[in-house]
Amino acid sequence: MESPGLVSATLSALAMLMVAGPARAGSLESWWFSSQLNQLVFTNDSEVQPQPQLLANPTWLGVDLPIPAAPSPNPNRVEGNNGGEAQTILKAIVSTGDGFLLQLTGPAPNPSLHFRGDSPDDRIAVIDLPDTAVTADLRPEDLPTYRYGVIGWEIVQQPTRPPSTRITLKLSSSSPEWRVLSSSNGVILLPPLGVALRATADQSSSLGPASSEPLGAIPEPVANAPALPPQPTNSEDLSRIPQRRRVVTIDPGHGGEDPGAVGIQGLQEKRVIFPISLRVAQLLEGRGIVVVLTRRQDSTVDLQTRVDIANQARADLFLSIHANSISLSRPEVNGVESYYYASDSSQRLAAILQARMLAATGMNDRGVKQARFYVLRHSNMPAALVEVGFVTGSQDFPRLQNPAWRETMAQAIAQGILEYLKVNP
């Protein structure tokens, strides 16, 4: 039943709101009350969440229209003018699943990095890029703020001849001790090898939630693991990769909420391939390769994000590492296989990796095959996917569980990548 007193009170409250409502909260454009529906309707020119409250003695219905919170000031600053005397231009900074990529035109400079600050909550990282100017198109709002513990960026072109650029990162206590590497595709900021960029409140949700299970639950490679396979006697030392820095994207398959294949005794694919992937990255970086991992922890990463990470890093090659499975009723199916999608370069990469894995492990050869896997079809560089064994196989299962075997496999894959880069400069 409609209450005339309440209606009157409502209209009075709205009148008060119309008089007292601050203009900076937006404008109250219209309001009306339906006595048939006993419904009050008002229209505002900006989105607000009304907060009604019923007051007694006398009875009033108050409706507060909160002032929207003012947007936080942008913590970033960019000062540049695309000085024509510099050989290199800083065009953009983008985040990847592994850190940050400084996109450049021109030759990549030799960057320097040092840290300042007396406490974890008062740290900055300073990166100097010699002979580098800042494009006039780079805006503060374009920078990846509140990502991986980076609170803000200050990019200032220095008045040197030729121009140089100083990048200052304001770091939170959760930000790692970044390292900076120069490659043919730009300058890359990466965390220390083995340090996971764990999900924090400021991390992009596109990478998915991190598992609550600690990274340390995955066994580390054993100290007395087998040595690298012998170098071919009829070729140059594979460690002598061409001087320009090469970028390789390593994609540990599955992760987080997606365990991948589950085999004998519940062995999960992600538990096999993640330590292999980290070890491959470590071996490649020891040879001067810049490695971008699509994930450094047990987190869920969708397929498009994996591809985006590789494409944004402009990697020289992409490798996705997996373990295979079939029905548990088929334990006789064992072996390694490698996949590519279309290009001749991808086929060569898959073939080299397959040969290296077979030579190092003596496992069954299931061949090099063509497949339409999403990450292979959408990567802009030579790409391959390897299956390092069957979690459901009676022969492969004990190998996949063995840290020493995983070390052997990781070294074989690393040697395959090095061989490919050597013959495809």
- H-assigned helices in 252-395: 269-286, 303-313, 344-361, 374-377
Q: How far apart are CA 261 and CA 21, in angstroms?
A: 60
Residue of 269, 387, 407, 419 with catalytic role: 387
Active site residue 213: no
- CA-CA-CA-CA torsion sign (144, 200, 374, 353): positive
Nearest to 360 by CA among 324, 405, 396, 401: 405
> Do 340 and 383 meet the contact criterion of CB atoms below 8 Å apart?
yes
Q: State the pairing for strand pair 365-370/336-340.
A: parallel
**What is each CA distance from 317 to 185, 314, 348, 412, in whole angstroms?**
12, 9, 12, 17
| 197 contacts 179 by C-beta, under 8 angstroms | no
Question: Is 92 exposed, middle or buried (CB count within 10 Å of its CB: 0-12, 13-18, 19+)?
Answer: middle
Residues β-bridged to residue 168: 126, 154
Question: Which of helix, strand or coil describes residue 129?
Answer: strand
Burial group, residue 243, by CB count within 10 angstroms (0-12, 13-18, 19+): exposed
Residue 118, SS3 per DSSP = strand
Structure token pair of residue 94: 């983008």
CB 354 within 8 A of CB 338: yes
Q: How far is CA 77 from the centre of its chain?
A: 24
Catalytic residues: 387
